[in-house]
Amino acid sequence: MKKPLKVLLAFDFPVPPPEDGNFRRELNPEDWRCEQNIINALNELDYDVRLIGVHNSIRRLQVELRRHPPDIVFNSIESYNNVRDQEANVAGVFELLGVPYTGCRASVLHLCRNKMLTKRILSPHRIRVPNFVYLPMGSRKRSLRGLKFPVIVKPLGFEGSEGVVNKSFAETSESALERVDFLHNNLKSDALVEEFIEGREFYSGVLGNDRLTVLPLREMFFKKFPEDRAKFATFKAKWDPEFRSKWGITNCYAAALPDGVEEKIARISRTAYRALGLTGYGRLDLRLTPENEIYVLEVNPNPSLQDDDEIAYAAYELDIEYTDLIEKIVNYGLQIGSRFSQ
C-alpha cells in the first residue's frame, strides 16, 4: 500500500507558538480561514498533514523538519516575527535544507516585493508598466520630472495594497512629495511614485511551472464611486468590508472585453510570469485603459489561496475545485523540488 504524502503546512504565527506545538487548537476558523481551507483540502487528499506556525524561531522550524521530514512543505508564510518582507528568508531556509516547498522560490519572493525592479525587468519584454520615479529613504532627490500627473505614491516593498490610501493619489508634485515624506518617516519605506493609469482593474491568476494555465480574469468594480473620484485599489478597497459595501466595491468575473483583449492579457501574463521566474502559482494586477492599452501594475508571487479569494474563484470558472487546486499546487512544488535536489 502506497504511503500517504507527508505535508507540513507552514504558516506565520503572530505570537510565540504553544509549548506543546498543538496548532490545531489555536487555529480557530474565523481568524485562520485560509489555513483551515488548506488543511481541509490536504486532509481530503488523504495526505499525512502536520502544522508548524513560525513566529521568530527558525530553530523550532529546523527541529520540526529534522524530526518529521516532510515530502513537501506547503508554504503559507507571509511574514517572520510579524515583519512581512521577511517571507522570502523563511523560504530560503527550506532551500538551504533541501526541502521541497510550494509556490515561488525565495529569490522570486524577494524580487517581486521590489516594485521598481519588477517593472525594470518587465519593460524589456515589451510589457507596459506605469512610468515611475524611485525615491529611497535618505535620498536628496526630490524631482518628479518626467512624470505625468496624477500619480500614485506607493511604499516600495509592501503587498496587498498596504500603505495605499486615498492620499496616495496625488495631482500635484507638492502633494505627491508630502506622501513620499509620510512613507519615509512613518512607514520607514522607500517610495515609488508612478503615473496613475485610468481604466479597468483586473487580476490575472496563473498556475504552473513550464506549461502555464492562465485563469479567467477577475475584475474590481467601483459601482458607487462618484464619477470624478479616482478608482484604484486602496487597502480599504481590498480588505475593509464596510468600506467596500459603502462604495459598492466588488470583485467578480470580468465583464465583456473588446475582441482580442483577453487573449492579449493572457499572453502578457505568461510572459511576465516567466520573465520574473514565478513557479506554482501567482497573480498579476493589471489595468486596461479606454484606448485598450494593457499595463501591469504589480506581480504577486504569493497571493491568497483562501477558498473565496481571486485565485480560487478564477479556478472554479475552469471547473477546478478547491481541493484539486491545492493538489495541483502541491504537485507543482514537488516538480520544482525534484529539480533542485538533483
pLDDT tens track for 35-79: 999 999 999 999 999 999 998 889 999 999 999 999 999 999 998
Distance CA 189, CA 87 (A): 17
Distance CA 293, CA 299 (A): 18
Beta-carbon contacts of residue 340 (< 8 Å; ≥ 6 apart): 95, 98, 100
Q: Identify the burial level of 281 via C-beta atoms within 10 angstroms of its C-beta, where 0-12 means exposed, 13-18 middle and 19 or more buried.
A: buried
User: Strand 48-54 to strand 6-12: parallel, antiparallel, or no bridges (unpaired)?
Assistant: parallel
Q: Identify the burial level of 49 via C-beta atoms within 10 angstroms of its C-beta, where 0-12 means exposed, 13-18 middle and 19 or more buried.
A: buried
Whether the model clears a pTM of 0.85, i.e. scores above it, the answer is yes
pLDDT at 158: 85
Residue 340 reports pLDDT greater than 70: no
Distance CA 234, CA 83 (A): 20
Q: Identify the burial level of 78 via C-beta atoms within 10 angstroms of its C-beta, where 0-12 means exposed, 13-18 middle and 19 or more buried.
A: middle
* Closest listed residue to residue 179, CA positions, set 144, 213, 127, 214: 144
Instruction: Report which listed range, 32-36, 51-55, 194-198, 231-235, is most confident.
Output: 194-198
Strand order in the sheet with 132-135: 132-135, 191-195, 151-155, 169-170
pLDDT at 29: 64
- Read off the pLDDT band of 199 (50, 70, 90): very high
pLDDT at 342: 47
Mean pLDDT of the chain: 93
Q: pLDDT: is 56 or 153 the higher one? A: 153
> How far apart are the two ends of the chain, measured CA to CA in Å?
27
Per residue in 210-226, pLDDT tens?
Answer: 999 999 999 999 999 88
- For CA atoms 275, 281, 285, 289, the dihedral sign is positive
Cβ(10)–Cβ(55) below 8 Å: no
Cβ(260)–Cβ(181) below 8 Å: no
Residue 86 reports pLDDT greater than 90: no
Crossing angle between the packed helical segments 58-67 and 87-96, to the nearest 10 degrees: 40
Map residue 229 onto helix, strand or coil: coil
Residue 89 reports pLDDT greater than 90: yes
Count CB atoms within 10 A of the CB of residue 284.
25
pLDDT at 159: 82
- Read off the pLDDT band of 261 (50, 70, 90): very high
Which residues are bridge partners to 12 per DSSP? 54
**Across residues 133-143, what is the average pLDDT?**
88
Q: pLDDT: is 143 or 8 the higher one? A: 8
pLDDT at 56: 84
- Read off the pLDDT band of 180 (50, 70, 90): very high
- For CA atoms 193, 195, 201, 203, the dihedral sign is negative
pLDDT at 227: 85
- Read off the pLDDT band of 112 (50, 70, 90): very high
